[in-house]
Structure 1
């Protein structure tokens, strides 16, 4: 029956690519070589800050000027739409490890605005390394150039074997790339040995045999058609992994800098209150742990939660194994139209009563990896553990039941007020006296918009809101009469009711001054109500902010400045390579601690189709970029922590309505630790206090 369903599905598929995309992978078994420097072909390039370039049989030997940023820029006209990577083979001929940055440029049809695809890497002394700049097509091409993939793999952010979308350009129109050598105190010497495009972005199996391609996800929730180190092939390997990891955890228990909370045991001791708090000390903001020691919150989101929920409706043909909903063992892992592959793995690996043992193992892992905080959406059961088994933790609360747009609450509603207070009160019972509980994140990546668009979106929203009515009453009180509104806006509304039902964005934008004033009242109400609820129900616990979206439209000078009056710590989801250029949006200097509530880096080298919002060349580069990011955060006087997103990879087929299927985890979708990433995590995390307190 399953094969019949697959066959019927495939019969209705249109021809795969048409004329838009034609990937002839057999023609390029080693990828598409752009330059190998073995021929006398002209290479179109220019350089900046380069002392010399010598072409040899080994490649282009590049010597940089010391004390300046150096770059070599190549012009080209390439179609790289069939590949996942543009790779550069570089030899470091210098006497120390060096950093290299790369960028790839292109054009978009009918769009002037494009954004380069970039990468950063570290090459050891005398090492020859191929680094991969990921090739991620522009969102605008998803339903055009990749139209059939979009239809065949519904609700998947990334397609097999590496197509996912960002703001970039059309990969059929690559116009150039560059290699940058950041400023150094000495001359840097590299040899560029090869430039090639490689790793098929579309599954060759899918192209050659669509019928045979399905199902493409194996019984463990992994992609079938690629192999990688750590891939699970049988149940025995799951058991063997426990033994391997136990040995690793025993060898690396935790940082010697830590006290029981993960605070700086060897550092100065300040007043302990029995709770976490924040204080500025010698020009730097810190958390102080309950005993008064310096604490920098190095965390991970969704810690201890290994669920991997996978939507299966209309996608049953994706999966090699889906147990019956009536199965006596596995039926409990179905929830509505999702199957929880994570629970299936934990059952096979640790047994049917895996919940408490897995939480305990998760905390051992965190301590071993140098992580001292359970970030947003982590396992709530940590509050039930005895003290010597715990680790500092947070709670995440949502307030979106009553809304003014699809992701912003109706803050003037009495129902919203009661929701906030009841939610915090209910959560407070277990945590208000627990010294390991740090505080609350409330909401996440809300659609604040700027004042004018905030009002426009509120008027467009399908449901009525108390906030919208309050806005109209505010205008009536300020303008007195509809005539005055018409005069201001150049409109001809006969009544306030007509204005409410027919106002366009052009009209609403003309109310700019009023929109700003009302927006400020809205923001003030939101943060004040939540802060008062936390102080009422959990005094001495911290308000950790609203986890602002990285988009500047939603993180702006109005809402951040107002939040700073109420929150204890500002929180920002920040998907960038490093924090060196990070600023808090404001017209005035805000001296407030902030925490990076989400960041990560993912790659495509372990069977994932989407790297995530932060990209890396491979697992080693994920670790390098992690270390670099944490170092940059520790250098900021106001940054009091950074939390990786998230504990485990997303499902291969995509989770939730967004279809996120990223390599975002410290562990894979089979609970397999990424040891190469973890090696770099330990390197920096075991020494965060020594690094941040050194003069």
Structure 2
């Protein structure tokens, strides 16, 4: 649990940025002894009125009962008051542990523990406090908070005692979520009736760091634990049973975070060596075409911006407002849902036929808390305000591209380069188009014509992705497409073309039977076949599957290129957004038609996957998606440990740095697009995907830990790529 006092707006962004680095340090030290006793628990006559003092420091004898770790403690007297002075020794995290003299504090009727602090250091200090049950282990059975104080500043650090909810078990949620496998209601929560100790810490680098603790008290009105799990989504779409920096508890807090971000954006407006397109202003001047184009420069593939500067495309997907989630059949998950037709009517929507999970082949109603919060935060003109703000955010945070699935009007403001997603036609050949269906090309043509007068031939438009993560299979030469055609229905255009190609090659069904080691009675029998036919041990089947796969893929990529260039000859055809393993022969064929090959690579780094194409496919690759696990603080849902679907904040930062460092060095990679700008809903999309990895959460609050890390990545982007081997 983390809390940022609203009286310290000037330091809140620094608090957030440094939070998880300190958390990891604390984790490394937590194996040390956490025992010690100090102070007195005062039993007030009426504990429901006013605060309860938990600890006071009356004499030096009390100091002997404090357990310091890499810290010094002493009493500091001023007049009639005495405070505990805690000093660092310059060797990492300074920490003290205070335990209850009676064993545990029963704070079941209190809402929080409040520490009155004074920073007596010569510089800014980040102070953390952690309330623990006897069984606490890392985040389990513990709540924590922090505050940032400038030199000489006083403040109150409030540790909310988040009540542990009843554990509903995960079985109920299995039909709704795609990736998660468990639920963790004990993380970031406590039993307030059994608070055993309070741990206070800060980082000490010089030994000059020190605070005075003037009081430690329990305050506010609480309720006994456990509390009901349902509803577990609050009125702002946030997880109800947790706390974190920037969590919204009332609509008035939106104004505070809005002002804080405005000041923060003013402080860090732009990477220093970028031009208006985000190209390398300090780099070489190449021919300027007025549009983006790929080129190979000093052994590495690059994009070149309209002004002729080297450009490496980096940006988030989903730069917009959408984060809708189904509410049908689970209204009891939410503590607040407005009535349709009212003030928040624009947040309702309808969905149908999700590909996976509970809502597959169903009609359902959705509600978008993200939109509701943007309206609450920015008022009736929120769409225009946020569109303008998004461009400032992108540049300040170190992004130079608006990636896939983003708001068209935001793109057409022409302040940040963008890419365009082209989706069309029904998937009628597995998860793929049937390119031999006569409607395939005509539907793509109609879809591309919608870009005339908007994105087509716009200098800010890098280019077009057509489709996303189609099912090409993993075998050489698109062999899986032949395997799929062999078992398709007899009226499938691809099946008809496949059989006709076999007729042309073998002439008679007897010749095919001999080559394929089959016994089809006639060509019509082959056409009617719906059974899979393996190519594993029959070279002729494998050869025929690959011949058809090559023809199918060539037809697909040729048509896509023709239709993109017919409407937008100045913009790039960025391919199909491959995903998973792809044989080098697949990319080699795509390279004949795509200006840039797009590839969604969800690995620890893209190096191993991209390296398999070195020496085989000399063509630029744009990573269309990558990302990491959800922020485990803001959701109770967990993946299997080996799946890494929920990660610690520091793991997420490390992954960002490592992935980007590898991508920027790789000679084939010309960009990487992060999935995604804004968190998905806590309760997930219709297909069950619920990933909280964005730079913005549902309340539109930036994740400054990611932001600061990303700024450092962006600051080194062009230098890193140009200077690496």
Aligned residue number for residue 675 of structure 2:
645
Question: How far has the Cα of 1:506 moved from its partner?
Answer: 3.5
Query: In 2, distance between residues paired with 1:599 and 1:531?
Result: 25
Task: Report the TM-score when normalising by structure 1.
Answer: 0.68
Deviations 1:77-134 (Å, cap 9, x if unpaired)?
xxxxxxxxxxxxxxx999xxxxxxxxxxxxxxxxxxxxxxxxxxxxxxxxxxx99999
Partner of 2:296: helix, strand, or coil? strand
Aligned residue number for residue 401 of structure 1:
426
Tell me: CA distance 1:461–1:208, structure 2 relative to 1, closer, same or farther (3 Å). Answer: farther
Work out whether 1:214 is the aligned partner of 2:230: yes
Aligned residue number for residue 574 of structure 2:
544
Work out whether 1:325 is the aligned partner of 2:340: yes
Query: In 2, distance between residues paired with 1:147 and 1:208?
Result: 12
Aligned residue number for residue 295 of structure 1:
311
| Structure 1 segments unaligned to the other structure (5+ residues) | 1-31, 39-91, 95-129, 135-145, 164-204
Aligned residue number for residue 105 of structure 1:
none
Asked whether the 8 Å contact 1:611–1:664 carries over to 2, the reply is no
| Structure 2 segments unaligned to the other structure (5+ residues) | 1-26, 34-89, 93-135, 141-166, 186-222, 351-364
Aligned residue number for residue 150 of structure 2:
none
Tell me: CA distance 1:259–1:604, structure 2 relative to 1, closer, same or farther (3 Å). Answer: closer
Work out whether 1:378 is the aligned partner of 2:406: yes
Aligned residue number for residue 434 of structure 1:
458
Residue of 594, 604, 609 corresponding to 1:582: 609
Question: How far has the Cα of 1:624 moved from its partner?
Answer: 2.4
Asked whether the 8 Å contact 1:610–1:662 carries over to 2, the reply is no
Tell me: CA distance 1:467–1:132, structure 2 relative to 1, closer, same or farther (3 Å). Answer: farther
Work out whether 1:228 is the aligned partner of 2:250: no
Residue of 156, 175, 180 corresponding to 1:154: 175
Tell me: CA distance 1:453–1:312, structure 2 relative to 1, closer, same or farther (3 Å). Answer: same
Aligned residue number for residue 672 of structure 1:
701
Asked whether the 8 Å contact 1:611–1:663 carries over to 2, the reply is no
Aligned residue number for residue 46 of structure 1:
none
Asked whether the 8 Å contact 1:420–1:533 carries over to 2, the reply is yes
Work out whether 1:269 is the aligned partner of 2:294: no
Asked whether the 8 Å contact 1:254–1:686 carries over to 2, the reply is no
Work out whether 1:341 is the aligned partner of 2:369: yes
Partner of 2:671: helix, strand, or coil? strand
Tell me: CA distance 1:463–1:624, structure 2 relative to 1, closer, same or farther (3 Å). Answer: farther
Tell me: CA distance 1:260–1:611, structure 2 relative to 1, closer, same or farther (3 Å). Answer: farther
Aligned residue number for residue 254 of structure 1:
270
Deviations 1:257-303 (Å, cap 9, x if unpaired)?
01110111111111111101111111111111101011111111111
Partner of 2:302: helix, strand, or coil? strand
Query: In 2, distance between residues paired with 1:221 and 1:689?
Result: 39
Aligned residue number for residue 563 of structure 1:
590
Tell me: CA distance 1:151–1:358, structure 2 relative to 1, closer, same or farther (3 Å). Answer: same
Which protein is bigger by CA-based radius of gyration?
Answer: 2
Partner of 2:660: helix, strand, or coil? helix
Tell me: CA distance 1:641–1:375, structure 2 relative to 1, closer, same or farther (3 Å). Answer: same
Aligned residue number for residue 98 of structure 1:
none
Question: How far has the Cα of 1:493 moved from its partner?
Answer: 2.0
Aligned residue number for residue 491 of structure 1:
518
Deviations 1:324-373 (Å, cap 9, x if unpaired)?
1232x112221121111111111111112211211110110000001000
Aligned residue number for residue 355 of structure 1:
383
Tell me: CA distance 1:403–1:241, structure 2 relative to 1, closer, same or farther (3 Å). Answer: same
Asked whether the 8 Å contact 2:257–2:701 carries over to 1, the reply is yes
Query: In 2, distance between residues paired with 1:587 and 1:423?
Result: 35
Deviations 1:405-446 (Å, cap 9, x if unpaired)?
1x2111122200111122122213212332111100111111
Deviations 1:463-483 (Å, cap 9, x if unpaired)?
943112111111121121222
Query: In 2, distance between residues paired with 1:255 and 1:356?
Result: 25
Asked whether the 8 Å contact 1:575–1:614 carries over to 2, the reply is no
Tell me: CA distance 1:582–1:344, structure 2 relative to 1, closer, same or farther (3 Å). Answer: same
Task: Report the TM-score when normalising by structure 2.
Answer: 0.66
Question: How far has the Cα of 1:500 moved from its partner?
Answer: 2.5
Tell me: CA distance 1:588–1:404, structure 2 relative to 1, closer, same or farther (3 Å). Answer: farther
Partner of 2:533: helix, strand, or coil? helix
Asked whether the 8 Å contact 1:393–1:438 carries over to 2, the reply is yes
Partner of 1:260: helix, strand, or coil? coil
Query: In 1, distance between residues paired with 2:335 and 2:699?
Result: 16
Asked whether the 8 Å contact 1:412–1:466 carries over to 2, the reply is yes
Query: In 2, distance between residues paired with 1:429 and 1:595?
Result: 26
Tell me: CA distance 1:360–1:575, structure 2 relative to 1, closer, same or farther (3 Å). Answer: same
Question: How far has the Cα of 1:560 moved from its partner?
Answer: 1.2
Partner of 1:271: helix, strand, or coil? coil
Asked whether the 8 Å contact 1:577–1:614 carries over to 2, the reply is no
